[in-house]
A and B are shown apart, each in its own frame.
Chain A
Amino acid sequence: MASISLSNVHKFYPNGYAAVRDVSLDIKDGEFMILLGPSGCGKSTTLRMIAGLETISKGDLHIGGARMNDIDPADRDVAIVFQNYALYPHMTVIDNLSFGLRLRGVGRAVIDQRVANIADMLGIGELLSRKPAQLSGGQRQRVALGRALVREPKAFLLDEPLSNLDAKLRSAMRTELIKLHRTLGTTIVHVTHDQVEAMTMGERICIMKDGVIVQVGAPMEVYRNPVNTFVAGFLASPPMNLLRSRLSAQSLSLGDTVLALPPALGQAFAAHAEREVIAGMRPEDFHLKADAAASTAPVKVHAVTTEVLGPEVILVATVSGEQGAEIHIRCPRDFRAKPGEIVIFHYDVSQLQLFDPETTYALKRPVQI
């Protein structure tokens, strides 16, 4: 087991394109770290630099305290699981599992023992004599995982390992990976573009965009306090509603809807009064009934359509008239609204986030109420 530390890491391609810029990240020993971002954000490149499959153009990489920039991938003692599994197509499952150990000159008895353990753990004991082409997607995924596990490396690097699985299997494998991490306690770096994976699996999430780190933190911390509109709009489904609005001393105007701000909140944002802001409102912070305890303010919306999901209903509606901005509201499962119908919700103002429309970064606000 080992910590992984990236300091001011850059990746430039020969054509001058900077895939990763100035990435500094400390992954603790035994931590489950998620690298999250849209495709092309540099998360896979960062992972491949940790594995040694891409050279580091600038900056330092330390694994377990030792500088690894110029160390061969084989000698970094990390294992990687690829998105398309990258199994050796001509080898049987047992050969796929044992290849790395055989290359390292591990004894036959030890190899057999370890392979048997891993096959048992992942439930692939019956597949050992098959070739990858004879396996289903989920089985290949397990073999790829097994190939990484059997080496007992210092860290696991997972490059979107669940994205080729169907939804049901993906959810099952999420749970298994979490359990596996709990059992082994090995450092895991997991790259994904799926915010559900990020929220459910990671101890910390590192969100990247355009080759730079945007925010690092525990899932709920990132969820509650997104550092900018990109993070706000990326996490959760449906994501945070982002609405252009105007901030006054004690209120926020969304078109013709005016939300009265509690005095504490008004004071906290006093420095930004009388200017345009982007209001960030989570879909679950709209309630049908006013809550005396929470500081709620009424918001009148025009229903556009409803998405009945079963456990809940997502209402798509416009604020301040039918031509206003569209927002998503999370409603109880028995909620129904006809198109054009006017519904009054009570927004929990204490959860309001404000962003600067120019920089897109969050405006300073008081500690979570």
Chain B
Amino acid sequence: MTLAADDRRLNDLPRAEQTAVERRDRMFGWLIASPSLGLLFLVILFPVFWALYTSVHDYTLIAPNFDTFNGIDNYTKALGDPEFRHTLWLTAFFVAAVVLLEFALGFLVALMLNSVERFKAIYYAILLCPLLMNPVIVGLIWRMFLHPSLGIVNYLLSLVGIDPVNWLGSTKVALWTIVMVDIWHQVSFMIVLLLAGLSALPREPYEAARVDGASALRSFWHITVPLMLPVIAVTLLIRLIFAVKTYDLVYIMTRGGPGVATDLVSYFIYRTAFVGLNIGEASAMSAILLAVIMGLTVWLHRYMRSLT
């Protein structure tokens, strides 16, 4: 806080009033920040602007040039495409299911782990295992586990007399299967973040509440939840953004199928670009997705801040 204030004061000074030492410090600051700033520009800003530029041109892999400017044509075409709209809704459903279920499960496990005293490190290590795996590997493992006739899951179910389920081949089940695998893979992320938040909570208000007469449930509702809101907001935000981008699991496990049952928007954009070869329209879709995610982020951030 003070540092920021100092900085502001420094910036407010007219150039002439800055001492040579201050000027040298600022130069040095820029100097050591410049490599990372340059890298950020190269790998983030440049591609974003390139994509936006591409999205207003008729740019395909058959004719990869910016000769034809077509304004918002790519955008109207994308939004008018029922298949694109389907993938948007499907993604919205997937994100809601994944984020809410992972949050509920993650918070529950975090609360339990927070009260555990022995073997905490071991639980941590076990929980972190899935998170350390590459999504492609997670997809491959689960595709084998869930194989309708050779997979271990159906075998185990058969032992208790349940008929085999076509996990990835049925339009009714496939999306939920992806949701389940994503939860298996990503729930630890929620747990770790929420647990860090929980263990940083002050202990005293709980003791005050105990003497005030609060039961465990009421302490949770009146103290834990309100105090955790900032952490919850950040956790939900990060998971939400990552869930919207889900691509690898779908690519490995279903290729968007059966039919279009698991055709999430990232995968659809990929297909438009590299199967349909229409880079211009795929860029427009990416821009729309970017706008949606940014809108969601701003909304969630504001909403959570209004609660605290």
Chain B CB count within 10 A is highest, among A82, A90, A151, for A90
CB proximity to A under 8 Å, residues B122-177 = none
Question: Hey, which chain B residues are within 8 Å of A85, CB to CB?
Answer: 204
* Interface of chain B: mostly helix, strand, loop or mixed: helix
Give chain A nearest CB distance to B188 CB in angstroms.
Answer: 28
Cross-chain contact of B204 among A84, A90, A147 (Cβ < 8 A)? A84
Asked whether B19 is an interface residue with its Cβ less than 8 Å from the other chain, the reply is no
* Interface residue SS majority, chain A: loop
- Please name all residues of chain A whose beta carbon is closer than 8 Å to the beta carbon of B204 when the two chains form the complex: 82, 84-86
Is residue A74 contacting chain B, with contact meaning CB distance below 8 A?
A: yes
A100 partner, pick from B205, B212, B223, beta carbons under 8 A = B212
CA distance A82 to B207 in the complex (A): 9
Give the contact-size bracket for chain B.
10 to 19
Least CB distance from B8 to A in Å reads: 23
Among A53, A84, A88, A104, max chain B CB count under 10 A is at A88
- The answer to whether B213 and A100 have CB atoms under 8 Å apart is yes
Check B29 for interface membership: any CB of A closer than 8 A: no
Q: Mark A66-88, 1 if CB is under 8 A from B, else 0.
A: 00000011110011101011111
Q: How far is the CB of A195 from chain B (nearest CB, A)?
A: 26
A94 at the interface (CB under 8 A from B): no
A196 to B47, CA, bound (A): 69
Measured between beta carbons, the chain A residues less than 8 angstroms from B227 are 89-90
The contact of B218 among A51, A52, A103, A151, by CB within 8 Å, is A103
CB of A165, distance to nearest CB on chain B (Å): 17
Bound-complex Cα distance A151 to B210 (A): 14
Indicate if the CB atoms of A53 and B218 lie closer than 8 Å.
no
CB pair B211 A80 closer than 8 Å: yes
B205 touches A89 (CB 8 A): yes
Closest B residue to A53 by beta carbon equals B207
A345 proximal to B (CB < 8 A)? no
Whether B205 lies near A74 (C-beta < 8 A) is no
Q: Specify which chain B residues have a CB less than 8 angstroms from the CB of A99 in the assembled complex.
A: 209, 212, 214, 222
- B205 x A79 contact (CB < 8 A): no
CB distance from A56 to the nearest CB of B (A): 16
Contacts of B226 in A (CB 8 A): 90-91
Question: Which of B205, B213, B214, B229 contacts A86, CB < 8 Å?
Answer: B205
Task: Report the 6 A-B pairs with minimum CB-CB distance, sorted nearest first.
Answer: A86-B204, A100-B212, A74-B213, A90-B226, A86-B208, A103-B213
**A–B complex contacts, Cβ < 8 Å, 23 sampled:** A51-B211, A52-B210, A73-B210, A74-B210, A74-B213, A80-B208, A82-B204, A86-B202, A86-B205, A87-B208, A88-B205, A88-B208, A88-B209, A88-B222, A89-B202, A90-B223, A90-B226, A90-B229, A99-B209, A99-B212, A103-B214, A104-B213, A151-B212
